[in-house]
Chains A and B, each alone.
Chain A
Amino acid sequence: MAASLFRPLLRGGPRFDDAAARRPILTFEAVYKAYRADQPVLRGMSLVVERGEFVFVTGPSGAGKSTLLRLLYRAEQVDDGRILFLGRDIARLTDGSIPFLRRNMGIVFQDFKLVAGWTVYENVAVSLEVLGLPSRLVRTRVGEALERVGLAGRGPDRAEVLSGGEQQRVAIARAIVGEPAILLADEPTGNLDPQLAIDILGLFEEIHEAGTTVLFSTHDRTLLEVRPRRVVVLDEGKAIDVPQGLAVPGIRMAS
């Protein structure tokens, strides 16, 4: 089993040989996924994400954006096809190695998913504690992560007293504190007002600039238009790259 485990790669880069570094970080190859046989969600979806890319994933509600991300962190299993992440087929991982897969990913959700009774510090530190890092190292790295998301000094506060925008920043700190190879975000701005949404997007861009690959799912059109970025539309069970400068088809304005 040890051979199939993902080694926790806390800091990407030096551990990779050149060939691995040039390969795409993430490849979907003809992925099929249906929750019910008569309603397939993904139908032969293919997508390649290069190392260091920032990719928006968009599409109408129910198109399968969340499903795509859930397949990635193995909350769901593909029916057919392959998903290669860091050169390995996620679909073929044993259950025992799923935790090691997830240690290479930071995941951010629309509903933040913080533990309300824990402090801000505890909510972020949990990412490092599961790795068994010594507490001194945890302290310094959580401090750095909170500073990166603009919450320096808020560590001792209980998570539930924070505003929505602040809570999402805590969730982002938790996602990046382990310096994952990829950051997955499932409508991270869906619960925030438009200005806050732009701020949070800015935070993701800063993290991206520092070298992290970002997969950002949203159906908020205004976010797509902030800056020219790669946009992938999920529709009819497939992923289509939107040529730059064209309007994104098939998407309603955010309500």
Chain B
Amino acid sequence: MTTAARALRGGRSDWRLHALSVFSLAVAFVCLASALLVVVNLQAVEARWARAGRASIYLKDGVADDDVAALRRALAQTPGVSGTRYLSQADARKDVLGDGVAGALAALPPEAFPASVELDFTPELGDESIATLVAKLRSVPSVESVETYQRWTERLAALLRGGVAASAVLAIVVFAAVVSVVASTMRLALQRRRREIEVLKLVGATDAYVRGPFVLEGAMEGVLGAIAALLLLGLLFSIVRGRFDADLAMLIGMAPVFLPWPFALGLTALGAMLGAIAALAGVRRFAAV
């Protein structure tokens, strides 16, 4: 009889116990997976906003075309500026809302979207040079404001660091939860299967043979807990995405993304590993094999 078959026989007799512990593990993993999901999305947003160096020069209402042209000429000759693009009020509205005007933002008047000159910097341009340039631009009469997006990137980066730290803490909590849940499940399973273990040892089973099914059961619990958590999170994600997609994507500039498969796979592998280790520790501690 293979280890898997023996694990299945043992697991079937205690399926209620295992179902309960898989559920507990799933709850723990949902916490970790949600934190990861938030981090992944923050990172995507940050990448989106940090993309190349650019700035928007928002123009005052009713600026003459000549002024705009002069400004663009001057900018084109500024070192470190690789390109400029003029966005009229109509362009700006279209840029944000898209062609199919729909949703709550469709009601916004054209004035809500100021005309702007979009600036592209060469990557070599340092933060200080950008700051000087921005200061100069702010003193130009036709310029209303200048947005470098740097503040956003910085804020997002800080948020991201916070998210990573929170995930790390959650990961530790999940480690502890998995180990204690699996170990105590194993303790109960071992107690219920004391006779089986006694018999195995009497007929000459090696310790590894006795341990095998329990370790496999622990690993399976971890895997099932992680998979259940991912499924649950996927469900929650699709609900949230379905409700907020249109507006959220417009504001953020990207659609929310689910955990990429290496993360999902890693989470499952983590479940398997922790489950196996916890089961092994439980068997050694409570059955001395």
Q: Mark B200-235, 1 if CB is under 8 A from A, else 0.
A: 111111110100000000000000000000000000
Q: With a CB–CB cut-off of 8 A, which chain A residues contact B203?
A: 102-103, 126-127, 130, 174, 178
Q: Mark B45-57, 1 if CB is under 8 A from A, else 0.
A: 0000000000000
Given A115-B195, A115-B196, A130-B209, also A102-B202 (CB < 8 A):
yes
Q: With a CB–CB cut-off of 8 A, which chain A residues contact B107?
A: none
Smallest CB separation, B202 vs chain A (Å): 6
Given A117-B13, A135-B1, also A130-B200 (CB < 8 A):
yes
Cβ-based interface call for B61 (8 A): no
Q: With a CB–CB cut-off of 8 A, which chain A residues contact B196?
A: 115, 118
**Bound form: Cα–Cα A135–B2 in Å:** 10
Cβ-based interface call for A131 (8 A): yes
Partner of A126, one of B13, B200, B206: B200
Contact assessment for A130 and B204 in the assembled complex, using a CB-CB cutoff below 8 Å:
yes
Cβ-based interface call for A100 (8 A): yes
Main secondary structure of the interface of B (DSSP, over half): helix
Other A-B contacts than A102-B202, A129-B1, 6 sampled, CB-CB below 8 A, are: A107-B202, A113-B195, A113-B199, A116-B195, A126-B200, A130-B203
Smallest CB separation, B42 vs chain A (Å): 51
Q: With a CB–CB cut-off of 8 A, which chain B residues contact A178?
A: 203
**Bound form: Cα–Cα A96–B196 in Å:** 20
Cβ-based interface call for A40 (8 A): no
30 contacts between A and B (CB under 8 A): A73-B202, A99-B205, A99-B206, A99-B207, A99-B209, A101-B204, A102-B201, A102-B202, A102-B203, A102-B204, A103-B203, A107-B202, A113-B195, A113-B198, A113-B199, A115-B195, A115-B199, A117-B13, A123-B199, A126-B199, A126-B200, A126-B203, A129-B1, A130-B200, A130-B203, A130-B204, A130-B209, A131-B204, A174-B199, A174-B203
How many residue pairs bridge A and B at CB < 8 Å? 49
Contact assessment for A100 and B204 in the assembled complex, using a CB-CB cutoff below 8 Å:
yes
Closest chain B residue to A116 by CB distance? B195
Q: With a CB–CB cut-off of 8 A, which chain B residues contact A101?
A: 204
Smallest CB separation, A172 vs chain B (Å): 13
Interface size (B, Cβ < 8 Å)?
15
Q: With a CB–CB cut-off of 8 A, which chain A residues contact B201?
A: 99, 102
Cβ-based interface call for A8 (8 A): yes
**Bound form: Cα–Cα A154–B288 in Å:** 34
**Bound form: Cα–Cα A34–B141 in Å:** 103
**Bound form: Cα–Cα A99–B206 in Å:** 6
**Bound form: Cα–Cα A8–B205 in Å:** 12
A99, A100, A129 interface centre (most CB from chain B within 10 Å): A99
